[in-house]
Structure 1
Amino acid sequence: MQTNLAPFIKDTREGQEAEAILRACVHCGFCTATCPTYQLLGDELDGPRGRIYLIKQVLEGQPATAKTQLHLDRCLTCRNCETTCPSGVEYGRLLDIGRKVVDDQVPRSLEQRITRNALKQLLPRKWLFTPAFKTGQALRSWMPQKLKEKLPAKQVAGTWPQRQHARKMLLLDGCVQPAMAPNINSATARVLDALEVQLLIAPKAGCCGAIRYHLNDHDGGLDDMRRNIDAWWPYVDGSNGQKIEAIVMTASGCGSTVKEYGHLLAADNAYAEKAQKISALTRDLSEILPELEAPLLAKLKGKINQRVAFHPPCTLQHGQQIRGKVEGLLRGAGVDVQLCADSHLCCGSAGTYSVLQPELSHQLRDNKLRNLAATQPDMIVSANIGCLTHLQSGTQTPVKHWIELLDSALQQPSVK
Structure 2
Amino acid sequence: MQTSFTPGQLADPATASSEGVIRKCVHCGFCTATCPTYVLLGDELDSPRGRIYLIKDMLEKQRKPGPETVKHVDRCLSCLSCMTTCPSGVNYMHLVDHARAYIHENYKRPWHERAMRQVLAWVLPYPARFRAALTLAKLGRPFAPLIAGVKPLAAMLAMAPRRVPAPVAAKNSTVPGAGARVALLQGCAEPVLKPEYRAAAVRLLNRAGYDAVFAAGEGCCGALVHHMGREADGLDAARRNVDAWTREIEGEGLAAIVVTASGCGTTIKDYGFMLRNDAAYADKAARVSALARDISELLVEADLPRGDGRGLTVAYHSACSLQHGQKVTEAPRRLLAAAGYVVRTPVEAHLCCGSAGTYNILQPEIAGRLGDRKTANLERLQADVIATGNVGCAMQIGQRSGTPVVHVIELLDWATGGPAPAALAHRNA
1:94 has 2:73 as partner: no
Equivalent of 2:269 in 259, 262, 286: 259
Deviations 1:253-279 (A, max 9, x none): 000000000111011011111001100
1:353, distance to aligned residue in structure 2 (A): 0.2
| Match in the other structure for 1:227 | 240
8 Å contact 2:272–2:289 — kept in the other structure? yes
Structure 1 CA distance for aligned equivalents of residues 173 and 100 of structure 2 = 45
Deviation per CA, 1:151-194, whole angstroms, max 9, x where unpaired?
A: 25345779968544432110111011111000001100011112
> Of the candidates 275, 281, 290, which is equivalent to residue 271 of structure 1?
281
Could you tell me how far apart the structure 1 residues matched to 2:119 and 2:224 are? 11
Q: Is the 8 A contact 2:203 2:418 kept in 1?
A: no
Instruction: Classify the secondary structure of the residue corresponding to 1:291.
Output: coil
Identify the match of residue 367 of structure 2 among 361, 368, 376: 361
Asked if the contact 1:305–1:336 (Cα under 8 Å) also holds between the matched residues in 2, the reply is yes
Say if 2:335 and 2:412, in contact at 8 Å, map to a contact too: no
1:180 to 178, 193, 197: 193
**Residue in 2 that maps onto 1:291:** 301
Q: What do residues 195-226 of structure 1 show as CA deviations (whole Å, max 9, x unaligned)?
A: 22121111311000111111111011000000
Task: Show the counterpart of 2:321.
Answer: 315
Match of 1:247 in 2: 257
- Distance in 2 of aligned mates of 1:303 and 1:371: 23
C-alpha separation between the residues in 1 aligned to 2:369 and 2:22?
31
CA 1:412–1:172 in structure 2 vs 1: closer, same or farther (change >3 Å)? closer
Task: State how 1:10-409 maps to structure 2 within 5 Å.
Answer: 10-61=10-61, 62-137=63-138, 139=139, 142=142, 144=144, 146=155, 147-151=157-161, 153-155=163-165, 162-165=173-176, 166=178, 167-238=180-251, 242-292=252-302, 295-298=303-306, 300=307, 302-409=308-415
- Within 2, Cα distance between the matches of 1:111 and 1:253? 27
- Alpha carbons 1:171, 1:248 under 8 Å: kept: yes
The offset of 1:9, in angstroms, is 3.3
TM-score between the two structures when normalised by the length of structure 1: 0.92
Please report how far the alpha carbon of residue 51 of structure 1 lies from its aligned counterpart in structure 2 after TM superposition: 0.3
Task: Provide Cα deviations, 1:59-94, integer angstroms capped at 9, x if missing partner.
Answer: 111542100000000000111000000000001111
Q: Which whole-Å CA distance do the structure 1 matches of 2:70 and 2:7 have between them?
A: 21
What code does the residue aligned with 1:354 have? N
Structure 1 residues 284 and 313: CA distance shift in structure 2, 3 A: same
Percent identical residues: 43
Cα 1:60–1:159 change in 2 (3 A) is closer
Deviation at 1:44, TM superposition (A): 0.3
Structure-1 residue corresponding to 2:426? none
Query: Aligned equivalents of 2:278 and 2:51: distance in 1?
Result: 29
Q: In 2, distance between residues paired with 1:169 and 1:330? A: 22
SS in 2 for 1:380: strand
> Which stretch shifts more, 75-84 or 203-212?
203-212
Contact kept, 8 Å, 2:104 with 2:230, in 1: the verdict is: no
Query: 1:229 deviation in Å?
Result: 1.1
RMSD (Å), alpha carbons: 2.0
**2 CA distance for matches of 1:321 and 1:264?**
19
Task: Report Cα offsets for 1:15-72 as digits up to 9, x if no partner.
Answer: 1101111111100000011100001111000000000000011111154210000000
Task: Write out per-residue CA displacement over residues 287-313 of structure 1, whole angstroms, 9 at most, x where no aligned residue.
Answer: 010111xx4242x2x353211111100
SS at match of 2:314: strand
Alignment check: 8 A CA contact 2:336 2:411 kept: no
2:421 is the counterpart of 1:411: no
Q: 1:406 to 1:141 in 2, by over 3 A?
A: farther
Which position in structure 1 is the counterpart of 2:149?
none
Structure 1 residues 401, 412: closer, same or farther in 2, change over 3 A? closer
Q: Say if 1:35 and 1:48, in contact at 8 Å, map to a contact too.
A: yes
Q: Residue type of the partner of 1:116? A: R
2:148 matched residue in structure 1: none
For residues 351-398 of structure 1, give each alpha carbon's deviation from its aligned partner in whole angstroms, at most 9, with x where no partner exists. 000000000000000000010000001111100111111111112211
Checking the alignment, whether the CA contact within 8 Å between 1:140 and 1:151 is kept in structure 2 is no
Task: Kindly indicate whether the alpha-carbon contact (under 8 Å) linking 1:168 and 1:243 is maintained by their aligned counterparts in 2.
Answer: yes
Q: How many residues align?
A: 405
Contact 2:134 2:160 survives alignment (8 Å):
no
Is contact 1:308-1:379 (8 Å) kept? Answer: yes
Distance in 2 between residues matched to 1:257 and 1:412, nearest whole Å: 31
CA 1:158–1:270 in 2, change beyond 3 Å: closer, same or farther? closer
Q: 1:412 to 1:40 in 2, by over 3 A?
A: closer
Provide TM-score, normalisation by structure 2: 0.90
Q: Using the TM superposition, give the Cα deviation of residue 133 of structure 1 relative to its aligned residue in structure 2, in angstroms.
A: 2.6
Q: Could you tell me which amino acid in structure 2 is paired with residue 37 of structure 1?
A: T
Query: Letter of the aligned partner of 1:82 in structure 2?
Result: M
CA shift digits 1:216-248 (9 cap, x unpaired): 11011000000111111121112xxx3221100
